[in-house]
Amino acid sequence: MCGRFDQHTLPYRYAGYLGAMVQATADEAAPRYNVAPRTRAWVARHARSGGRELVALWWGLVPFWTDDPQRAARPINARSEDVTRRPMFRNLIATRRCLIPVDGFYEWRTTPSGRHPHYVRLAENAPMLLAGLWDRWRHGDAPALESFTILTTQANELVAPVHDRMPAIIAASDAGTWLEGREAAGIQSMLKPFPAEEMIAYPVSRRVNAARNEGADLIERMDAEGLPG
């Protein structure tokens, strides 16, 4: 699964990496090292006016057909193996795919001393593009609510010792096909474990466990006892 991630790069750089126009306010442009569910995060998608845009959407999918967003399940993850079968995701995989550019994500490993967070990023330190789906909810005069979920797949050899699932990562060279492609088979084939040899994982501070904690120290390497490595 994916329950936290890191978006400390300025949104303008994510936008440049993806060839997108950024829609941002000063508050939204602040670096974030501990993005948690039910908060807003940067998402790249195909714009209705053409091209691509980088926008801040709510993490936790609210389907357009739900009656009350406050009572909806709002899944933060969706199993890539199920998206063509489940009604909540079936239309979105065809029409509303997105990419979540992150610097890395966190997973937790169960140890005798408790659950210990690990940070996972690309070895080349480039943005990691997580596959996602988005939707827009609006009823009556209520303001529109746009939200997203992250697609997951089986863990690769690097992540498996920590967790059996991981986000589906789209290679930068496939970003255009994921966002704008129409061939269902080709799109589905991208939802697979990312090559382990192109990634790095290491333990980090348990401070990341609390969503209120922020700062660059959250992604610093720690040893098994939680001390700087």
Q: How far is CA 6 from CA 18, 81, 154, in A?
A: 17, 25, 21
| Residue 153 near residue 168 (C-beta atoms within 8 A) | yes
Residue 175, number of CB atoms within 10 A of its CB: 20
Q: Provide the H-helix boundaries in 159-205.
A: 175-180, 184-188
Tell me what percent of the chain is helix, strand and coil, each rounded to the nearest 5: 20, 35, 45
- Which strand (E) or helix (H) includes residue 15? helix 11-18
Contact 150, 78 (CB under 8 A): yes
Q: Which helix (H) or strand (E) holds 12?
A: helix 11-18
Q: What is the dihedral of CA 143, 71, 214, 222, to 10 degrees?
A: -140
Catalytic residue IDs: 2, 107
Nearest to 121 by CA among 177, 167, 188, 75: 167
